[in-house]
Structure 1
Amino acid sequence: MRRSDQRPYREQEREVTDVAAFTSLLEDSAEELYEQAPCGYLSTLMDGTIAKINTTLLEWLGLSRQQVVGRMRFADLLTVGGKLYHETHFAPLLQMNGEVSGIALDIKTADGQRMPVLVTSKVKTGDDGGPMLVRTTVFDARDRRAYETELLRGRQEAEAARRQAEADRERLQEALAVLQQSLLPAELPTVPGLEAGSYYHTASPELLGGDFYDLFPLDADRWAFFLGDVCGKGPQAAAVTSLTRYTLRAAALHDPDPVTVLTTLNTVLHERYTSGDTRYCTAIFGVLHPGDDQVSVHLASGGHPSALIQRADGTAHYLPTPGGMLIGVLPEAQFTPARTRLLPGDTLLLYTDGLTEARTGPERELFGDDALRTFAAEQSATGPQALVTALTGLLADFGDGLDDDTALLALGVPARLPHPTSKDLT
């Protein structure tokens, strides 16, 4: 027969002896393992009286075995808050479920310090199923509590930083809104024989826009208006907008001819930004001369979308100003003049390209000039403010398809009221 183990007998005998010695060592150290375990152990009677406790937990508490065993209850080891939690939650749960696991508590040491721990308890039952005692394991949670405290502090600091950032953002938005309003007329003046309406949409409350408009008197019989768009956004664009508005106003009071006014603006912007960061704008400038039941309009455009006229008869068309160049790019620029008359019920609409370049539909197509003309023709010719209100609703319908600032300025002659007839008076 083949032997299963061919090793020498002495070697086998030595191995058996070593195993026996190791087993004996384990048996001898079981009590030591209990006493010197890296966690605390204790056993309590069902009324909470401590019947057994290991050395590790005694060292944490700073108490002797004689002070604890048979003299103290488990709840006596806890802080005031821990005792309250033990009586209201821990003990009822243990009685109901027979065990509780991983409960965070604080034990108090002999020198009055708090020590955070995690407690797990389980009821030991007898052969008849009745409760005999409670075995409890106590884990040192100081490192964990320190980590949680640091984590909580970090979260609190992050939350405080977030709230501060939100507050700073709100203050910035308020400041920008005030500054933006300073670049626009607070309200449009009342012009005899004329109605006016305006609207300004800000694409981002955190960025200053470059769109602008104004309406102001030149003398007793004439009024000037303009609308335009400065390239870019932010403080630099706002500076150009401010310079542009005041230059247009000053130039118009000196010589209100639209081409002359835009030429003056071109000279100022080109000289101011001739080197470094080039800045330019587009604009329409015009003069209104109200008369009997009509307003004559003389305007010029520099690179700006053509003005749109909504007529009282339900039609709409653009007032062409081809060839007008961007303002401020070249030392000399060509500007295109145009003239028209507004009769009762007619409205002249000026707008910036945020309106026509809005994206619509699932294909994100440009709204475009044709769609704007069609939209204007579909609206009742009831005056500038009514048209501006309709366009405001249109801009809102664009949603996130409207990603640029948009300015609207509408000027028109109020429609004649029908004369009452004898039938109306009866």
Structure 2
Amino acid sequence: MTATQDAFRPDAGPSSPDEEERLAAVRRYRILDSAPDGAFDRIASLAARIFDAPMATVTIVDSDRVWFKAAHGLKDMSETSRAAGLCATAIRHSGPYVIHDTRADPRATVHPLVRSRPAVRFYAAAAITTADGHRLGTVNVLDTRPRHPTPNQLGALEDLAALVMDELEVRLATLRTVAAERERRTDAERLARTLQRTLLPPALPLVPGLDAAAAYHPASVDEVGGDFYDLFPLDDGRWAFFLGDVCGKGADAAALTSLTRYTLRAAAIYDPDPCTALANLDTVLKGEYQGSTPRFCTAVFGVLDALADGSFAVTLAGGGHPPALALRADGTVEAISTTGGQLIGLLPDPHFVATTTRLAPGDALLLYTDGLSEARTGSGAMLGEDGLARHLSEHPAQGADALLAMLHTLFTDLGTGVSDDTALLALSVPLPVPLGTDDRPVQENR
């Protein structure tokens, strides 16, 4: 339910127990007065684009001020007084908070952005809420004319606030992990493994009618790689997934990996079309590294749509990435080619290629990074895409978990022939279980 200017209750003062707990949560995330950050700037920019509005912000409500983590369309604005209202009022609401016309709300007229330039007339906000219910701040959209937003726009605003919270959780987890590791040991191997885990989802979600499994095979135990993958739901009941590889190693690659994964998730909220998602990532990478050494990646982005017969329609787009492999129930292996898709973040006007396929019961789809196809066999020859397809056809495996187990054996056999990190994502449609039996294996995400 949308809160409007008619819904009001007194602000919880700084001395109230609830407010003290909320402020403790704000301090816990160590976000106040932090340096500008492209991830949050993009959230504000995307909010403005969704509403077709000139201004949007990501704000944190402190004890006596509202601090701007990101401000799209507002120059030289870093904070306002909490007593001025708007954000401080919005955090008291669990759903979207909307003021259609600030001139009709006496509390809004005292805000600096309302009573002077840019003379805000419309305000909408969604709270950035922790898992334990504390509202740290808001994602806000502002306009100089009265507005009546659509339910879809307000839903997207809530999604963006949830993305801000996800990013804060990831960063806090990384800070805590690094601090704990530094206290226990300075061993490079432990630290690299810990940081690598923060760049990958801890577990894949359960997709009805689909088995999913993922694995990461590092080539080095003391250096962070740049391979990534993810699987997540879309608002329309479909599921999105991606896998890719950024250039380089170490801290720079880790930063690029985090940016890439976060951007693809955010892009899918705005438009889940696979080619559009890759194009948005290309724009972000060019903007983030403008004037510096170009940073680029390869990726495959896909959307899964469950069909009534138990199969899945798959739409894939590729940007300079090896083809996905479809392992059919009859034992054949088919390359799902996106040939012609170009590197992301490097070329002036890259081209991305989309294709479609169908996963029927008994079929599986394998996505991998080139650490696998470029590995050397015992003879010194590169395994290659053809060699990988041949190995899969000669060693059939039923289901996502069995497929990754078989590939783990392949990595073991290749040994020192593997010189680069490899990420694997397997999606399989299980065969129907005969009536009266339930012998499907339990899904495990590696």
The normalised TM-score by structure 1 is 0.58
Look up the match of 2:231: 215
Find the aligned partners of 1:168 and 1:201 in 2 and give their Cα distance.
25
Look up the match of 1:182: 198
What aligned pairs does 1:351-362 form with structure 2 within 5 A after superposition? 351-362=368-379
Moved over 6 A (4+): none
Q: How many residues align?
A: 254
1:277 Cα deviation after fit: 1.8
Matched, 1:379 2:395: yes
What aligned pairs does 1:102-141 form with structure 2 within 5 A after superposition? none
1:419 Cα deviation after fit: 5.8
Greater helix share, 1 or 2?
1
Find the aligned partners of 2:300 and 2:197 in 1 and give their Cα distance.
20
Matched, 1:197 2:210: no
Please tell me whether the aligned partners of residues 266 and 332 of structure 1 are also in contact (alpha carbons under 8 angstroms): no
Find the aligned partners of 1:306 and 1:371 in 2 and give their Cα distance.
13
Find the aligned partners of 1:204 and 1:172 in 2 and give their Cα distance.
11
CA root-mean-square deviation? 1.8
Tell me which of 336, 340, 350 is aligned to 2:357: 340
CA distance 1:381–1:392, shift in 2 (3 Å) = closer
1:274 Cα deviation after fit: 2.7
String of CA shifts for 1:199-233, please: whole Å, max 9, x gaps.
10111111110100000111252110000000110
CA distance 1:187–1:168, shift in 2 (3 Å) = closer
Tell me which of 362, 365, 368 is aligned to 2:381: 365
The one-letter code of the counterpart of 2:334 is H
Please tell me whether the aligned partners of residues 297 and 343 of structure 2 are also in contact (alpha carbons under 8 angstroms): yes
Look up the match of 1:152: none
1:381 Cα deviation after fit: 4.4
Look up the match of 2:256: 240
Tell me which of 284, 304, 307 is aligned to 1:291: 307
Structure 2: runs of 5 or more not aligned: 1-182, 438-446
1:420 Cα deviation after fit: 7.7
String of CA shifts for 1:174-205, please: whole Å, max 9, x gaps.
22211110100101110000000111011111
1:255 Cα deviation after fit: 0.3
The normalised TM-score by structure 2 is 0.55
Look up the match of 1:316: 333
1:169 Cα deviation after fit: 8.0
> Which SS does the other structure have where 1:375 is aligned?
helix
Look up the match of 1:227: 243
Look up the match of 1:397: 413
Aligned-residue sequence identity (percent) comes to 56
CA distance 1:234–1:273, shift in 2 (3 Å) = same
> Which SS does the other structure have where 1:256 is aligned?
coil
> Which SS does the other structure have where 2:373 is aligned?
coil
Find the aligned partners of 1:274 and 1:284 in 2 and give their Cα distance.
24
Please tell me whether the aligned partners of residues 270 and 330 of structure 1 are also in contact (alpha carbons under 8 angstroms): no
The one-letter code of the counterpart of 1:373 is A
Matched, 1:258 2:274: yes
> Which SS does the other structure have where 1:360 is aligned?
coil
Find the aligned partners of 2:429 and 2:339 in 1 and give their Cα distance.
26
String of CA shifts for 1:328-364, please: whole Å, max 9, x gaps.
00232100001011000100000000001001123x1
Please tell me whether the aligned partners of residues 316 and 373 of structure 1 are also in contact (alpha carbons under 8 angstroms): yes
Please tell me whether the aligned partners of residues 345 and 381 of structure 1 are also in contact (alpha carbons under 8 angstroms): no
1:369 Cα deviation after fit: 1.1
Matched, 1:277 2:293: yes
Tell me which of 346, 353, 356 is aligned to 1:329: 346
Find the aligned partners of 1:316 and 1:417 in 2 and give their Cα distance.
24
String of CA shifts for 1:10-47, please: whole Å, max 9, x gaps.
xxxxxxxxxxxxxxxxxxxxxxxxxxxxxxxxxxxxxx
Look up the match of 2:320: 303
1:170 Cα deviation after fit: 5.5
String of CA shifts for 1:102-129, please: whole Å, max 9, x gaps.
xxxxxxxxxxxxxxxxxxxxxxxxxxxx
The one-letter code of the counterpart of 1:340 is T
> Which SS does the other structure have where 2:194 is aligned?
helix
> Which SS does the other structure have where 1:184 is aligned?
coil
Please tell me whether the aligned partners of residues 267 and 331 of structure 1 are also in contact (alpha carbons under 8 angstroms): no
CA distance 1:373–1:169, shift in 2 (3 Å) = farther
Structure 1: runs of 5 or more not aligned: 1-166, 422-426
Look up the match of 2:431: 415
Find the aligned partners of 2:208 and 2:372 in 1 and give their Cα distance.
29
String of CA shifts for 1:228-271, please: whole Å, max 9, x gaps.
00011000011100000000000001100000000000001012
The one-letter code of the counterpart of 2:366 is L
Which protein is bigger by CA-based radius of gyration? 1
Please tell me whether the aligned partners of residues 199 and 388 of structure 1 are also in contact (alpha carbons under 8 angstroms): yes
What aligned pairs does 1:21-40 form with structure 2 within 5 A after superposition? none
1:285 Cα deviation after fit: 0.4
Look up the match of 1:102: none
1:291 Cα deviation after fit: 2.0
